[in-house]
Structure 1
């Protein structure tokens, strides 16, 4: 009996250890100080980046700070031996995810290596930063990588043209990429693209975005990658999440595309903490090495290999596997039918299947409940600074709930029936996931195939069957643990329980193998361990020196609603102690916004008011085109916001009016301009009505009013603004 108990606890602890160390599966390799000729030199790349960023101040689009960065970037390119050119343009782009059209004046830096003519490979990164930080990772990692790749190619020229695009204006609307695609003469000769981005300062260099169909791109990735980190779930998700990259602009061109990013420690993303010192050297080394290798493959003069759509994944960064989508879907279908047939034949479709389904559901449900309780006890994403224990809590409660259900319900059920039901459930859920994310299909082939082999072998060679079941469980745990590691990096703001469905599937095959030995004493022991992990998660610090907390302050003067408010954006975490002296704070939303924040009444403070001048208004039946100029009144960003029911058909700079994509939803509509050139631009708004409309004219200055200094002084040193700096905003009505 003691041996049986040890076996159960051993499996529980094995699974918890696997979940705890899974990050090692995606860890980037360490940078080496010994670099051979033709390899990526991390430290030389960092030195260039340090010189380019200078004093590491924020440098957003069309600002004097960005002019200084661009001058230093051009100097570095010339030092390498290239002849860079600066291309100026006005550009507007419509967001595919939001009803926003963003405009700015951009100055792209372009340099080429190799033959003067021919189909060319484009390497792209943006050199502007968020106004909240210096952007050493976003997108300094791209700038450093492109410069080092250019230095290597200068010595070893490629067989066809390679163009390096350092674009301006990505952060506020992908304007640099848009200007290149629409106005640069080199764009017409491009047929392949490597893009570099960041949403953090550490973690693996993940290839997360491709063109569709992706066959030639994935073949190039497979040929080049030495330390792969890529899977087709990530590339499918890239089309669904609200974040966009420059690739969004280039998609329509049909270029063969590989897009890379790092996403570790998002707490420094778009903050003053995104510095050269914080940029992980191993992440830069992997990014640079992978991009250099991909550049060499994609810059060959050889014609592209054929290939439709492929699904793919790496295995622990050591092996890369890719299959045609149709092959993967067919294999998944065959395995699902085989599992169903075997389950029906051995009588696993009723009570055994109901038992494993209930165990999986119970694990997910308890994880959701614990996540909800966490939110009540510790509001806000308290785990951002110390995510390990909170996520281990989710894994512990999933395992505990599954073990409890299995111990209660599996009495009298033969193990081979539970095995069949478990793998049938896995395949059914795999089929469901594949409907939403076709790239998921590759994750439900290897382990189920081994398990079905075990089901077929069980009658004649039960010992071999048992070995196959343990092997299948190990394969699934390896593949799913790697996915969980990436999910944790991606879901920095949660919800914590989002990892539970996948973790439950990873654990079930192991628990089935020991369920007959689970008794109340073992469940009590597991419960105590889970409780200890829960308690530990409740005590983790909200902030650390490496992972600061988010707290952005704004002064809002809304003349339309006659409101003056202090605003705090911090993920609705509790406000710092003593902040009640600044007013009566409440969680609420601003007018025409859905994002909750902390708000308190503020005094009326004199801020410059933006103004519009209607230059022309031409009606054609029930439609009308309005041309206007905006006096930003010293704003860093100015916007014209329409209510969601106003029939706006298109907006932008005159001659560049962009239609609102149907995929952008049904929220408010915004025409936004960033930088010092907005005051000279002529804008165009096309309306689906001949009647006058009223909009909000919004002036944003990235500086707090002097009256807000006490709040800034009271902000804990462990917290910093994120996404945008502290700001002063004035909203006035505008009639068109």
Structure 2
């Protein structure tokens, strides 16, 4: 059999796929001398250098300095600037500890000439503990400030524009919640452009758009280099992250959620510094923000509430089409695959039974490919815990681990194909693999965008095979041309999708990449099938193992200690003032000799030391007693009421910790007021609250008591983040500590 047409066809498809991943150039950053009507990454970076000079957790000096800087800059630009103050609360679904804070949103307004509504440019200025937050969310702050400058320097827009830099996003989207629960600065509809980061590089993707999205997608498509994908809207829900967009969407506002996700090993760490932030990512985010804001500023926003949802994707620029078309194309794919199956059966290339059994094997192989892609990085972390970042377990240099994931998926699929080829026949397996793709697409139809990432590459590929089947057998080259033509959309869509999957991080992205590899493998079988042997599954499996191990070892080598940015540690300290005992603890196992010396005991829950994580098993070990005064509890009132008591307390931190906590045992809280704001009551009630007020907070608890003699146990704590207060503490050499906590706890019985 002449294999040359297949070889050349496969090379063409792969070259097109590679070109689709490398041809799109990142945005070229513009300098400070760029025209005033253009977004300049250099000018935006000047703002980031200032706000990310130090960490900005709530109520910290850096937090206050950043807020003051934002106010000065926006006032100097001529915007009407104010601070929106209030209290925000968040009740996690996985914990009884509510999280709250006293907040200060920065709100600046530019009145429109003939407004039909308001365009909101949003970002947040707070960070997690110990992180300068140059990307999260310095990139958002720089984007909205430079966009605000360009808007103020240009012709005033028709619609009102608001710059909203929220507070308390990291504590539970608190600032966005506060903004949506208070009267808006202007009447009429609002459209929010929210800017975020889960890393310090990569192309900004608008991964969520409010519903109905038809008009919003069309407006976004007018911006140069805008990227959006409906698939990510569903996929994002599987990640342990969220943004202020959630609160805007819940409040019924129109909006876009745009973020970068490359370089995620630096996310939420002390290494998220301005020098590590991609200027190209900043430029592209700013270009899209400014262009979209200008378009929205001239649009009749009252018309945005109509329309329907449409599907958006970016295989070669921003492509969008009606939702009904996604359904129709999926049904056409199902018909086309069914026709192909009938053709194979009628020509006696395969039987219905063979296709059915091959479908089952192909499904198992696809699942196994996703699992195999997950294994290299997962096993690497088991062997060398310090390889991955603390927040999302990502290495600094991901390339060889990504290659290992792809090789593992390809190896599993190839091994499965060769193992069953002689039993089922190549035509049966090829059809069965397409049946799997089709069934997944049909099952995904209730979730907008998922079917499209399968149908857009698969439907042309199947049609190409059907055209090839209509060409006489002797016309080998023309048959190959038909197959290759049908596979070009798959190359343009699926190969970039494999790489884009890794933006979700190796833990989540590697299995997703393995799934896309399985789709591409299924579509390529008309070309690759004749090139693969009829037997030899075991040697292929062995070769795959060696290749995967080799790539994994290379990944470990280039990420070895000292060859990259500093490795990361996660360590907490807590002092139980009642018993005069202290512990080091971590939700992670020891990552180095340094943390192993601190965390000498096996993981176990430590509710007395960490009452906000009572069920979490923590690696721990004894720690020195720090000379830290415990939180103070002043009883302002203790009144008996029908069926319970009302306790009025003042909770404060003599050592100046900004975060205060309280947990109630032996009673159900019927009503709770903290710092003047109501908190969701309930059994097992507790909260963590952050405030700049050195006098602390007042707490009013209406209790339904159940314990003996109506005794109520109140556990209190205060939290800070400087481990240097612990006697003898020595920072790890060549490493950084992520999210440090210093807690002091005590119990009050009333």
TM-score range, shorter chain: 0.7 to 0.9
* Alignment-derived partner of residue 674 in structure 1: 690
* Alignment-derived partner of residue 636 in structure 1: 658
Q: In 2, Cα distance between the equivalents of 1:298 and 1:669?
A: 45
Q: How many pairs were matched up?
A: 715
1:514 aligns with 2:528: yes
Shifted more, 152-161 versus 620-629: the winner is: 620-629
Q: In 2, Cα distance between the equivalents of 1:465 and 1:561?
A: 81
Deviation at 1:403, TM superposition (A): 1.2
TM-score, normalising length: structure 2: 0.84
1:407 aligns with 2:404: no
Q: In 2, Cα distance between the equivalents of 1:300 and 1:25?
A: 33
Aligned partner (choices 328, 331, 348) of residue 329 of structure 2? 331
Shifted more, 140-149 versus 523-532: the winner is: 523-532
Shifted more, 625-634 versus 646-655: the winner is: 646-655
1:699 aligns with 2:697: no
Q: In 1, Cα distance between the equivalents of 2:584 and 2:468?
A: 68
* Alignment-derived partner of residue 584 in structure 1: 600
- Match of 2:743, SS state, is strand
- Check whether the contact 1:226–1:290 (CA below 8 A) recurs between aligned residues: yes
Q: In 1, Cα distance between the equivalents of 2:501 and 2:664?
A: 36
Aligned partner (choices 270, 288, 291) of residue 290 of structure 1? 288
Q: In 2, Cα distance between the equivalents of 1:652 and 1:98?
A: 19
* Alignment-derived partner of residue 733 in structure 2: 716
Deviation at 1:230, TM superposition (A): 2.0
- Check whether the contact 1:126–1:170 (CA below 8 A) recurs between aligned residues: yes
TM-score, normalising length: structure 1: 0.86
Aligned partner (choices 594, 599, 610) of residue 631 of structure 2? 610
Aligned in 2, Cα 1:673/1:18: closer, same or farther, shift over 3 Å?
farther
- Match of 1:657, SS state, is strand
Q: In 1, Cα distance between the equivalents of 2:581 and 2:328?
A: 60
Q: In 1, Cα distance between the equivalents of 2:194 and 2:225?
A: 18
Shifted more, 500-509 versus 379-388: the winner is: 379-388
Q: In 1, Cα distance between the equivalents of 2:376 and 2:442?
A: 28
* Alignment-derived partner of residue 390 in structure 1: 401
1:78 aligns with 2:75: yes
Aligned partner (choices 437, 441, 463) of residue 451 of structure 2? 441
Q: In 2, Cα distance between the equivalents of 1:620 and 1:188?
A: 45
- Match of 1:159, SS state, is coil
Q: In 2, Cα distance between the equivalents of 1:395 and 1:254?
A: 41
- Match of 1:308, SS state, is coil
1:728 aligns with 2:742: yes
Deviations 1:372-405 (A, max 9, x none): 5445433465461221111211211211121122
* Alignment-derived partner of residue 309 in structure 1: 309
Shifted more, 683-692 versus 225-234: the winner is: 683-692
Aligned in 2, Cα 1:232/1:426: closer, same or farther, shift over 3 Å?
same
* Alignment-derived partner of residue 271 in structure 2: 273
Aligned partner (choices 351, 356, 365) of residue 350 of structure 1? 356
- Match of 1:186, SS state, is coil
Q: In 2, Cα distance between the equivalents of 1:286 and 1:418?
A: 44
1:485 aligns with 2:494: no
Deviation at 1:158, TM superposition (A): 0.6
- Match of 1:242, SS state, is coil
- Check whether the contact 1:134–1:274 (CA below 8 A) recurs between aligned residues: yes
- Match of 1:257, SS state, is strand
Deviations 1:602-631 (A, max 9, x none): 233342211334555778876876554311
Aligned in 2, Cα 1:219/1:625: closer, same or farther, shift over 3 Å?
farther
1:503 aligns with 2:509: no
Q: In 2, Cα distance between the equivalents of 1:99 and 1:188?
A: 37
Deviation at 1:289, TM superposition (A): 0.5
- Match of 2:274, SS state, is coil
Q: In 2, Cα distance between the equivalents of 1:19 and 1:688?
A: 65
Aligned in 2, Cα 1:393/1:407: closer, same or farther, shift over 3 Å?
same
- Check whether the contact 2:376–2:401 (CA below 8 A) recurs between aligned residues: no
Deviations 1:281-301 (A, max 9, x none): 001101110111111122224
How much is the aligned-residue C-alpha RMSD, in angstroms? 3.8
Q: In 1, Cα distance between the equivalents of 2:526 and 2:328?
A: 28
Higher relative contact order (CA 8 A, sep 6+): 1
Shifted more, 361-370 versus 601-610: the winner is: 361-370
1:461 aligns with 2:471: yes
Deviation at 1:244, TM superposition (A): 2.4
Q: In 2, Cα distance between the equivalents of 1:622 and 1:9?
A: 83
Aligned in 2, Cα 1:547/1:616: closer, same or farther, shift over 3 Å?
same
Shifted more, 68-77 versus 412-421: the winner is: 412-421
Aligned in 2, Cα 1:422/1:280: closer, same or farther, shift over 3 Å?
same
- Check whether the contact 2:123–2:165 (CA below 8 A) recurs between aligned residues: yes
Q: In 1, Cα distance between the equivalents of 2:531 and 2:486?
A: 21
* Alignment-derived partner of residue 122 in structure 1: 120
Aligned in 2, Cα 1:425/1:144: closer, same or farther, shift over 3 Å?
same
Aligned in 2, Cα 1:343/1:440: closer, same or farther, shift over 3 Å?
same
Aligned partner (choices 525, 532, 557) of residue 575 of structure 2? 557
* Alignment-derived partner of residue 391 in structure 2: none
- Check whether the contact 2:136–2:196 (CA below 8 A) recurs between aligned residues: yes
- Match of 1:422, SS state, is helix
Q: 5+ unaligned residues in a row in structure 1: which ranges?
A: none
- Match of 1:396, SS state, is helix
Q: In 2, Cα distance between the equivalents of 1:605 and 1:219?
A: 59
